[in-house]
Amino acid sequence: MEAWLNGTVCSSRCCSVCGDSECRTVEVEGASYEVIPEALLVKAELIAALTVNAQGGLSQSS
């Protein structure tokens, strides 16, 4: 997903559930997200679909 959005996987200090562990974050266009916004998920899905379509679709086994 990060590749389709030209994003970067990062981490941040957790503030609740994970305790002292690092949380996985994603940085896209200068903004950092612990929870990925729905709009970015949809954008990644559309880019993925267009990419697969441009490559000739998914191979289907019988």
Instruction: Output b/e per residue, 11-48; b: 16+ Cβ within 10 A.
Output: eeeeeeeeeeeeeebbebeeeeeeebeeebeeebeeee
Domain ranges for the chain: 8-54
Predicted TM-score (pTM) of the model is 0.67
- Integer Cα distance of 30 and 57 in angstroms: 32
Q: For residue 61, is pLDDT > 60? A: no
The one-letter amino acid at 61: S
Q: What is the mean pLDDT of residues 39-46?
A: 94
